[in-house]
Amino acid sequence: MQTSSPQPRGQHTKTSDIAKASITTDDRYRAPALDKGLDILELLAAQPQGLTRAEIVKEMGRSANEIYRMLERLVARQYVTRNTTGDRYALSLKMFALANMHPPLSRLINQALPIMDDFARKADQSCHIGVYDRGNVLITAQINSQRGWSFSLQRGARIGLLDTASGHVLLAFSAPGTYERMRAEHVPIDGEVPITELLLSSTLTAIKEQGYLERKSGQSFGVLDISCPILGPDNTALASLTCPYIQRVDHHVGPNTEEVLHLLQSASQALSFKQII
C-alpha cells in the first residue's frame, strides 16, 4: 500500500510551457528533485513580486513538505530570496550573474560559426546572423562562401528592421510584448524603405505560417534573401540566420535555392534552444 498522498481527483500538476516542451517520450533519465527545483525557478521567474509558499504549493500541485524542503535549499544556495517577514519568495540575481559570466550572444556566436562555415561550404553561399539591437538589426556573425563568389554583410553592420529579411523574421517570431517594444524603439537607418502596417502585418503572418522567408532582396538587385529564425525556449527568435543567395551564370553548377533553403533550415534548427543551452 502506498503511503504517499495522491492528488485529488481531476487535479493535475501545473508545469510551465518551457518544462512541458522539454519532456520527451524517452524519460529514462528523470531527476524528480531537480525537476522540482527547476519548476520552482520557472514559476518564480514569471512572478516579479514573488509568491508565498502556499501560493507556490497551489500552483505546482505538490505537497507543502516537499516544496518547503526545496525552497529552503534554493534559499540556502541563494537562487531564491525570502523577504524580511519570511512569507514571500522571489528569484535572486544569482541566475542573472551566472548568465552574464557566459553571455548568451557570445555563446550563440561561438556555437554558430562552425555551423555557418559548414553551411557556406555546402551551399556555395555566404550567410550572416542578425539580432535585434536598439531599434534595428545588428549583424553579429558572418561567413563568406569558400568559392569566393558571394554577397555578404560585414559583421557589426546595422540594417533596417522593417525592410529586411532579417528584421522581418525577428519580428515575425517575437512575443507580443517584445514585438511592441521593438516597434516602439524602431530607428530607421539610411535608405530604409517605408512599409504600411497592413503590408507588414500580412508579411509577418506569412513568415510565421511558413516558418521561414524567401524573397527578392529589398536592397540589392540579383540577390534572393533566404532567412530562418534561431529559436529560444519559448519558440521566439533569438536571432535570424540569413543567406543572401546569388545565382551563378557561368558553367559552375551549385546548389539551387531549394537545396540552400534546406541547408539553412538545418543550420538554424541546430542553433535553436535545445542545441545551444
At residue 192 the predicted structure's pLDDT band, cuts being 50, 70 and 90, is very high
Q: Which residue has the higher pLDDT, 104 or 25?
A: 104
d(CA 170, CA 178): 10
Question: Which CATH superfamily includes the segment(s) 102-276?
Answer: GAF domain (3.30.450.40)
167-186 pLDDT, tens digit per residue, is 999 999 999 999 999 999 99
Which H/E stretch holds residue 64? helix 64-76
Give me 72's grid cell: 529552503
* DSSP code string of 15-62: --HHHHHH--S--TT--HHHHHHHHHHHHHHT-TT-B-HHHHHHHHT-
Residue with cell 521567474: 45
DSSP symbol at 117: H
Give me the phi and psi of 220, to 5 degrees please. Answer: -140, 140
| pLDDT (average), residues 139-150 | 86
Position 123 scores a pLDDT of 96
**Is residue 105's pLDDT more than 90?**
no
Output the CA torsion sign for 68, 74, 80, 84. positive
Q: Which residue has the higher pLDDT, 232 or 16?
A: 232
The residues, any chain, with a CB within 8 Å of residue 24's CB and separated by 6 or more, are none
Position 27 scores a pLDDT of 66
d(CA 217, CA 225): 5
Q: Which segment of 41-45, 104-108, 234-238, 243-247 scores lowest on mean pLDDT?
A: 104-108
**Is residue 7's pLDDT more than 90?**
no
Listed by start position, the domains of the chain span 17-97, 102-276
The residues, any chain, with a CB within 8 Å of residue 20's CB and separated by 6 or more, are none
| pLDDT (average), residues 68-76 | 92
d(CA 123, CA 260): 6
Same fold: 17-97 with 102-276: no
Q: Which segment of 27-31, 188-192, 227-231 scores lowest on mean pLDDT?
A: 27-31
Position 99 scores a pLDDT of 66
Position 84 scores a pLDDT of 77
The residues, any chain, with a CB within 8 Å of residue 267's CB and separated by 6 or more, are 115, 116, 118, 119, 127, 228, 241
Burial readout 93-129 (b: 16 or more C-beta within 10 A, e: otherwise): eeeeeeeeeeeeeeebbeebeebbeebbebbbbbbbb
At residue 100 the predicted structure's pLDDT band, cuts being 50, 70 and 90, is low
Position 81 scores a pLDDT of 92
At residue 223 the predicted structure's pLDDT band, cuts being 50, 70 and 90, is very high
Is the entire prediction scored with pTM above 0.85?
A: no
Per-range mean pLDDT, top range of 5-19, 68-82, 162-176, 242-256: 162-176
Position 148 scores a pLDDT of 75
- What is the chain's length? 277
Q: Which residue has the higher pLDDT, 257 or 100?
A: 257
**Is residue 9's pLDDT more than 70?**
no
Position 207 scores a pLDDT of 98
Position 12 scores a pLDDT of 42
Position 101 scores a pLDDT of 63
CB atoms within 10 A of CB 254: 17
d(CA 138, CA 39): 34
CATH of 17-97, one of 1.10.10.10, 3.40.50.150, 2.60.260.20, 3.40.630.30: 1.10.10.10
Q: Kindly report the average pLDDT of the chain as a whole number.
A: 86
Q: Where are the beta strands (DSSP E) in the chain?
A: 80-82, 89-91, 127-133, 136-143, 158-159, 213-216, 224-231, 237-245
